[in-house]
Amino acid sequence: MSNIPEDLKYAATHEWVRVEEDGTVTVGITDHAQELLGDIVFIELPEEGRVVSAREEMSVVESVKAASDIYAPISGEIIAINEDLVDAPETVNSSPYDDGWFCKILPSDESELEELLSAEAYTDMCE
């Protein structure tokens, strides 16, 4: 069974969102997503400073098996990216919720957070 932490919010497209104390959000892909993708070999990260809308393609993950689009779970500005993933994309397989984070977004509309799934709802969706 994949790991779905209680304290995060989830998009139906398998991204997770952690709301930080400063109001920014950290984004990555779920344990379930990395399991489905298998060994990740390349990650194309969004550019820092880019403004994204919720559900817009922001990143591409290539695994041995397939290429997958990663979508912005909420609208806002990309204020940081995890450049370590460029040379060590496998970090997403080994640590999807910690060292394998993709980017930080400064939300432009915090109400969108309410539209994301709870851990419980995401668990139901994955079953």
Instruction: Enumerate binding residues for another protein (CB under 8 A).
Output: 38-39, 41-42, 44, 60, 62, 64-67, 90, 93
Please report how close the Cβ of residue 70 comes to another protein at its closest, in angstroms: 14
Q: With b meaning 16 or more CB within 10 Å and e meaning fewer, what string describes 68-90?
A: bebbbbbbbebeebbeebeeebb
Give the tokens for residue 46. 């969004």
Contact between 8 and 28 under an 8 Å Cβ cutoff? The reply is no
Closer Cβ to another protein, 22 or 64, answer by number: 64
Please report how close the Cβ of residue 111 comes to another protein at its closest, in angstroms: 33
Closer Cβ to another protein, 24 or 93, answer by number: 93
CA-wise closest residue to 28 among 41, 42, 45: 45
Closer Cβ to another protein, 25 or 70, answer by number: 70
Please report how close the Cβ of residue 110 comes to another protein at its closest, in angstroms: 33
